[in-house]
Amino acid sequence: MTEVMREKLVIIGSGPAGWTAAIYAARANLEPLVFEGAGSRTMIPGGQLMFTTDVENYPGFPEGITGQEMMMAFRKQAERFGTRIITEDIVKVDLSSYPRVLTSSGGKTVEADTVIIATGANAKWLDVPGEEELARTGGGVSACAVCDGALPFFREKRLAVVGGGDSAMEEALYLTNFASEVLLIHRRDAFRASQIMAERALEHPKITVVWNTVVESVSSREQDGLKEITGLRVKNTVTGEEETLEVGGLFVAIGHKPNTDFLEGQIDLKDTGYIRLPDGGRMATNVQGVFAAGDCVDDYYRQAVTAAGTGCMAALEAERWLAHGGIEAEAGAAVS
């Protein structure tokens, strides 16, 4: 018979939002249990920052810090206050009854009074040869210009952005502050971005649009024991002609997918899969005692510092919800 664990608070996810929620909850004596995830090819415990080499825009680190170091520090701080950690995924939830029932990839069953969902989002990648290795090792491939574009590695280089939506326009425009030239590569002959954003990109003197083109592979060379990007092998979708574009960096801006598949039918989700919050200024979902934080909610900012902030908010809300009687208080209010 499977043993059932009974918990006051379970946090699902281990990025900046999850660990910040754990720190606040542990200091409030909620004894949080964190399911940090088992890891996959594109997502590992610690979230997207585990694929980021240098973080220079998080307050408190004037010399910068690697994403891995930052997440290990977050984790250690949560553990210091008594957070317990299980390195498994939550693969199934039943939020229709109380307590909420969670099932892990290792077969564990957990009953939880409150839940904070902080599962993050996966950047969509091109899935072409050379891309993943350079993204993992800081060799010049990124899915976030705001996070990485200002790094010395990318300055005064010819950079490429792939995409045709507003995010791609924003990434390209942001990179013009540091690049010598920005190639905006799109597979069609027109952008799907809003007109104003498309016009800004098209009119910028540093941006060159490469229409009807897809990336076939990413080339690199070894420098001081590490590989760094040298160019892109691209193909014209109309003529079929292939060529190599020399670039010093590639930014993939084709969207993100929130890690919320396991929540379908259990909680209110937007059409894009992001968790919908009934009150935009709060982290409470439509299910009582279930809160959400980080990139599984945020489809706009997607920054470590904003994720951490929402993790703090979710923990404070969970604490107050429990302190005010939790589900029993909600039931009483409904009867009255």
Q: pLDDT (tens digit, 9 = 90+) per residue, 205-258?
A: 999 999 999 999 999 999 888 899 999 999 999 999 999 999 999 999 998 899
Q: Are residues 266 and 331 both part of a single domain? A: yes
CA–CA gap between residue 52 and residue 252 (Å, rounded)? 14
Domain final position from 230, 252, 274: 252
Selection from 38, 36, 30, 26 nearest residue 83 by Cα? 26
Cis status of the peptide bond prior to 59, with omega within 30 of 0: no
Q: Are residues 92 and 67 both part of a single domain? A: yes
Q: Are residues 96 and 193 both part of a single domain? A: no
| Domain of residue 134, CATH code | 3.50.50.60
Portion of the chain with pLDDT greater than 90, in percent: 79
Q: Are residues 236 and 148 both part of a single domain? A: yes
At 47, the amino acid letter reads G
Domain final position from 252, 272, 289: 252
Q: Are residues 139 and 39 both part of a single domain? A: no
Q: pLDDT (tens digit, 9 = 90+) per residue, 315-336?
A: 999 999 999 987 776 555 443 3
CA angle 314, 50, 52 (to 5 degrees): 110
CA–CA gap between residue 250 and residue 162 (Å, rounded)? 8
CA angle 294, 296, 299 (to 5 degrees): 90
Q: Are residues 44 and 138 both part of a single domain? A: no
Q: Are residues 192 and 131 both part of a single domain? A: yes
Portion of the chain with pLDDT greater than 70, in percent: 96
Tokens of 74: 């977050």
Q: Are residues 43 and 63 both part of a single domain? A: yes
Cα torsion at 7, 19, 306, 59 (round to 10°)? 150
At 111, the amino acid letter reads E
Domain final position from 252, 275, 303: 252
Residues of the domain holding 163: 125-252
Q: How many domains does the chain have?
A: 2
Tell me if the pTM is above 0.85.
no
Q: pLDDT (tens digit, 9 = 90+) per residue, 172-218?
A: 999 999 999 999 999 999 999 999 999 999 999 999 999 999 999 99
Find all residues with CB under 8 Å of 97, minimum gap 6, and list them. none
CA–CA gap between residue 138 and residue 49 (Å, rounded)? 12
Q: Are residues 162 and 277 both part of a single domain? A: no
Positions annotated as catalytic residues are: 144, 147-148
Q: Are residues 221 and 110 both part of a single domain? A: no
Q: Are residues 75 and 130 both part of a single domain? A: no
Q: Are residues 63 and 86 both part of a single domain? A: yes
Q: pLDDT (tens digit, 9 = 90+) per residue, 41-96?
A: 567 788 888 877 778 889 999 999 988 899 999 999 999 999 999 999 999 999 99
